[in-house]
């Protein structure tokens, strides 16, 4: 880790402070510590090829190699991969490395999402009516991205609906899915403001969400299964690791917004505490191509992030956070730095509290109680997991469903 995360350091016999993207340093450290098994969390080292490097050095590794990780790290590649294998779920899209053709396609679609093809920590996608005012604004943003020279832009038909996440363990063939989760990307209460990595999330005891049916969940899962099957034709050994599908339920059915090659943040904090099966056994099953079955306890979860004041526009770094009595909430540290026993904010999300209970109301109450135990300056979204916000989403989907049947 690049900063000393007290949650991680307290679990460790030893740790290295270095950027996760410095894969040579991480590889040398893994060899020095004679590591048996590495599980790769974030996407940036996957993009650099950390799995390929560690495996070359004899460290067994859960996570896709550089080639397979393109399913997340290269959004243009991911859409073309889906098209090549006739995988359902993509909206109308085009991939452009020059402005004129991109602008013409924006005019043709009229209502669009503009995505950089490269990694942006979840903050790169902008849609019209949200972060982009109109067609001219969409063209301006697409042009700016192309001027960066980092790769093509993906222009997609704007999708309207409610988002949900499915995360799964994959051993190259078999896929074991976890409960659906809904993340909240917008920075401010009421689902407004700039996009963030995710301000909080919730899941329900039945593994579904109040606005999706079993068959809609299965539709999303089927898209993930098709991708895993197709990956066997693209890369040797197929896709091994964690696969994350970000879906949106629209009036035309379930569509895939994007794949990630890892657990979601915050969504991992909803599902992993519910996992009843042995985690290390699952990791070994991924490596051996013998993924065991997995079970999750049937509980509700609500996760809320505390973030630096001003995040994500002008986050206030180095503010002190003190952890007091957080009741029954679980606590997970993220972008913080511990120096001389004090915890300082970084520029990204600081720490999350998770409530787990038999129903969502109690889970939300536990998470709120957790937030009250954190002292210091931070922002958060109190509305996540509240019945008021969930009901709003259900009503929105009812409206969208009524368009389906018209
Ligand atoms: N929650 C979105 C992500 O992990 O990318």
CATH of the domain at 395: 3.30.470.20
204 and 326, same structural domain?
A: yes
Largest Cα–Cα separation, the chain: 64
343 and 276, same structural domain?
A: yes
304 and 228, same structural domain?
A: yes
Mapped onto helix, strand or coil, the DSSP state of residue 394 is: helix
- Domain termination site, one of 114, 139, 157: 157
Any ligand 1 atom below 6 A from CB of 245: no
The arithmetic mean of pLDDT across residues 168-195, rounded, is: 96
Asked if residue 81 belongs to a domain, the reply is: no
Our measurement of the distance from residue 337's CA atom to the centroid of its chain's CA atoms, rounded to an integer in Å, reads 22
- Separation CA 127–CA 135 (nearest Å): 10
315 and 214, same structural domain?
A: yes
Name residues whose C-beta falls within 8 Å of residue 120's C-beta, 6 or more positions apart in sequence: none
- Let me know: does 334 contact 5? Beta carbons within 8 Å: yes
Q: What is the pLDDT of residue 404?
A: 72
Asked if residue 78 belongs to a domain, the reply is: no
Q: What is the pLDDT of residue 121?
A: 82
289 and 268, same structural domain?
A: yes
**Dihedral sign, Cα of residue 188, residue 362, residue 166, residue 53:** positive
Asked if residue 131 belongs to a domain, the reply is: yes
107 and 37, same structural domain?
A: no
153 and 166, same structural domain?
A: no
The tens digit of pLDDT for each residue in 298-309 reads 999 999 999 999
Token representation of residue 243:
């696969």
Looking at 60-189, which runs of residues are DSSP E strands?
60-62, 93-96, 112-116, 126-127, 153-157, 162-171, 175-177, 182-183, 186-188
Helix/strand number for the chain, H first, E second: 13, 21
61-70, 95-104, 118-127: range with lowest mean pLDDT:
118-127
The tens digit of pLDDT for each residue in 276-296 reads 999 999 999 999 999 999 999
Any ligand 1 atom below 6 A from CB of 264: yes
Q: What is the CATH number of the domain that holds 134?
A: 3.30.1490.20
In the block, residue with structure tokens 């997991």: 385
The tens digit of pLDDT for each residue in 379-398 reads 999 999 999 999 999 999 99
Q: What is the pLDDT of residue 382?
A: 98
- Checking if the pLDDT of 406 tops 70, the result is no
Q: What is the pLDDT of residue 123?
A: 79
358 and 229, same structural domain?
A: yes
Any ligand 1 atom below 6 A from CB of 355: no
**Bond from prior residue into 266 cis (ω within 30 degrees of 0):** yes
- Separation CA 141–CA 123 (nearest Å): 13
Structural domain total, the chain:
3
Mapped onto helix, strand or coil, the DSSP state of residue 3 is: coil
The arithmetic mean of pLDDT across residues 143-171, rounded, is: 98
Whole-number Cα distances in Å, 235 to 68, 73, 86, 223: 7, 15, 17, 18
Any ligand 1 atom below 6 A from CB of 171: no
The arithmetic mean of pLDDT across residues 59-70, rounded, is: 98
Any ligand 1 atom below 6 A from CB of 195: no
Please give the residue range of the domain that contains residue 123: 92-157
Q: What is the pLDDT of residue 405?
A: 58
Share of the chain above pLDDT 70, in %: 100
CA-based nearest residue to 345, from 354, 335, 330? 335
Asked if residue 371 belongs to a domain, the reply is: yes
196 and 135, same structural domain?
A: no
- Checking if the pLDDT of 269 tops 90, the result is yes
Give the residue, out of 46, 71, 266, 305, with the most ligand 1 atoms within 8 A of its beta carbon, to mutate for a pocket test. Answer: 266
What ligand 1 atom has the least distance to the C-alpha of 266? 1
User: 301: alpha, beta or left, given left = phi > 0 and alpha = psi -120 to 50?
Assistant: beta
125 and 215, same structural domain?
A: no
Looking at 80-120, which runs of residues are DSSP E strands?
93-96, 112-116
Measure 245 CA to ligand 1 centroid, in angstroms.
Answer: 10
Any ligand 1 atom below 6 A from CB of 42: no
Asked if residue 332 belongs to a domain, the reply is: yes
Any ligand 1 atom below 6 A from CB of 267: yes
235 and 178, same structural domain?
A: yes
Measure 31 CA to ligand 1 centroid, in angstroms.
Answer: 30
- Domain termination site, one of 157, 179, 201: 157
CB atoms closer than 10 angstroms to residue 185: 18
- Let me know: does 368 contact 303? Beta carbons within 8 Å: no
The arithmetic mean of pLDDT across residues 223-246, rounded, is: 97
Q: Which residue has the CA at smallest separation from atom 3 of ligand 1? A: 264
Q: What is the pLDDT of residue 187?
A: 96
- Separation CA 305–CA 140 (nearest Å): 32
Instruction: State the average pLDDT for the chain.
Output: 97
The arithmetic mean of pLDDT across residues 38-59, rounded, is: 97
The arithmetic mean of pLDDT across residues 217-243, rounded, is: 97
Asked if residue 68 belongs to a domain, the reply is: no
Asked if residue 86 belongs to a domain, the reply is: no
The tens digit of pLDDT for each residue in 111-125 reads 999 999 999 987 799
What ligand 1 atom has the least distance to the C-alpha of 198? 1
245 and 151, same structural domain?
A: no
Asked if residue 123 belongs to a domain, the reply is: yes
The H or E element containing residue 278 is none
Q: What is the pLDDT of residue 87?
A: 98
- Let me know: does 370 contact 354? Beta carbons within 8 Å: yes
- Let me know: does 167 contact 242? Beta carbons within 8 Å: yes
């Amino acid at each position: 880790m690049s900063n000393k995360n007290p949650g991680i350091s307290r679990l460790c016999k030893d740790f290295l402070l270095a950027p996760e993207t410095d894969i040579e340093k991480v590889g040398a450290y893994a060899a020095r510590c004679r590591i048996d098994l590495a599980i790769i969390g974030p996407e940036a080292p996957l993009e650099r090829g950390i799995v390929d490097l560690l495996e070359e050095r004899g460290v067994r590794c859960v996570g896709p190699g550089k080639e397979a990780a393109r399913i997340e790290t290269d959004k243009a590649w991911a859409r073309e991969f889906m098209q090549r294998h006739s995988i359902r779920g993509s909206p109308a899209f085009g991939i452009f490395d020059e402005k004129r053709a991109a602008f013409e396609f924006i005019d043709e679609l009229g209502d669009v999402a503009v995505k950089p093809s490269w990694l942006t920590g979840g903050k790169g996608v902008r849609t019209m009516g949200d972060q982009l005012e109109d067609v001219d604004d969409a063209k301006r943003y697409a042009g700016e991205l192309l001027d960066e020279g980092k790769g093509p832009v993906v222009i997609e038909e704007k999708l309207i609906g409610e988002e949900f996440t499915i995360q799964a363990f994959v051993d190259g063939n078999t896929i074991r899915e976890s409960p659906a989760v809904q993340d909240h990307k917008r920075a401010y209460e009421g689902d407004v403001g700039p996009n963030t990595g995710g301000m909080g999330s919730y899941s329900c005891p039945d593994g579904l969400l109040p606005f999706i049916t079993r068959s809609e969940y299965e539709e999303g899962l089927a898209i993930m299964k098709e991708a895993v099957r197709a990956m066997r034709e693209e890369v040797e050994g197929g896709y091994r690791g964690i696969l994350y599908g970000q879906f949106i339920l629209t009036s035309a059915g379930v569509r895939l917004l994007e794949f990630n090659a890892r657990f979601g943040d915050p969504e991992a904090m909803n599902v992993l505490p519910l996992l009843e099966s042995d985690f290390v056994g699952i990791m070994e099953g991924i490596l051996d191509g013998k993924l065991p079955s997995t079970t999750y306890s049937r509980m509700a979860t609500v996760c809320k992030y505390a973030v630096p004041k001003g995040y994500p526009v002008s986050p206030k770094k180095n503010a002190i956070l003190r952890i007091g009595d957080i009741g029954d909430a679980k606590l997970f540290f993220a972008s913080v730095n511990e120096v001389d026993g004090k915890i300082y904010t970084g520029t990204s999300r600081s720490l999350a509290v998770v409530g787990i209970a038999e129903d969502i109301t109690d889970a939300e109450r536990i998470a709120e109680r957790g937030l009250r135990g954190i002292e210091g300056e931070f922002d958060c979204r109190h509305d996540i997991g509240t019945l008021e916000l969930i009901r709003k989403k259900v009503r929105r989907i009812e409206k969208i469903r009524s368009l389906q049947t018209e």
